[in-house]
Amino acid sequence: MAPPRIRVLEAFILAIAVAVALYWQTEPGSGADALAAASRASSELVGRRIVLLIAHPDDEVMFFGPTLQLLGRRELGNELAIVCASTGDADGLGEVRARELVASAAWFGIPAARVTVVDDAALPDAMGTVWAEAELARAVGPLLAGADTVVTFDAGGVSGHSNHRSLFAYATGAHAPPGVAVWTLESVSIVRKYSAFAGLAAARARAAAGAAGQLTAWSAVGEHRLTAAAMRHAHASQMVWFRNAWLELSRYLYINDLRQERGPK
């Protein structure tokens, strides 16, 4: 008989294999489901001009894939755009990364004309640098003028990156763009962060139930593969080996929980 420790390992591997097999049976929700979810969350998410405000090229796939795919569904009638507050030039690859963002957006049906990458000395790509709200208002504010809704990071910034957190401070602070609804992506604990699709059943239940001021976007298999493909193919300069693990294990590739921080006025 195998020692108990081996048995536990076998059971664990079997459980993972069963979970993956079950996930591969998952079908995407219908367009009517998406419309109902977005309508219950807030009429602000239907028929709107929505800007995803990110800090670096690849934030849109690393964190917001399920959101882009839900809000971009034809049935919702939204027009999606991406505004990126820096070129992601920490390693001197800013020009390359700005082009990669345009290529990535195309995977989500967002044309190049609706992707703007800000290159401003006051907004450097740097882990420990807090971007001043007044500088964001100057450099990014005019780009949000035509939007009804902004989707961005929450106070935790998913990864705690100062640039991410600065966008939350700006979007909800004294310099925030006027007349725009602000929705933010919930930062989760480190355990949940690497839980892949483990929370999918609960996420689907939340999405189906709906509630004002909340929106849960979840990805079925094909949708998850699209987000991962956008990262692999469009953001080639960022595809170091451990990113492959992120694409399979990160909850943000499968589930986004959003909440409304500010109304439209």
Contact residues for Zn ion, defined by CB under 5 A: 55-56, 59
| 89 HSE (CA, 13 A, CB side) | 14
Q: Which residues contact 244 (CB under 8 A, 6 or more apart)?
A: none
User: Residue 89: how many CB atoms within 10 A of its CB?
Assistant: 18
Closest CB to Zn ion among 158 and 258? 158
Closest CB to Zn ion among 175 and 235? 235
CB of 121 to Zn ion, least distance (A): 18
CB of 1 to Zn ion, least distance (A): 50
Beta bridge partners of 115: 82
- 203 and 257 in contact (C-beta within 8 Å)? yes
Would you give the distance in Å from CA 81 to the centre of its chain?
13
Beta bridge partners of 22: none
- Residues 64, 149: Cα–Cα separation, whole Å: 15
Closest CB to Zn ion among 206 and 235? 235
CB of 6 to Zn ion, least distance (A): 41
Closest CB to Zn ion among 125 and 261? 125
CB of 59 to Zn ion, least distance (A): 4
- 58 and 238 in contact (C-beta within 8 Å)? yes
Closest CB to Zn ion among 26 and 87? 87
CB of 164 to Zn ion, least distance (A): 6
Of 136, 137, 135, 172, which is closest to residue 151 (Cα–Cα)?
172
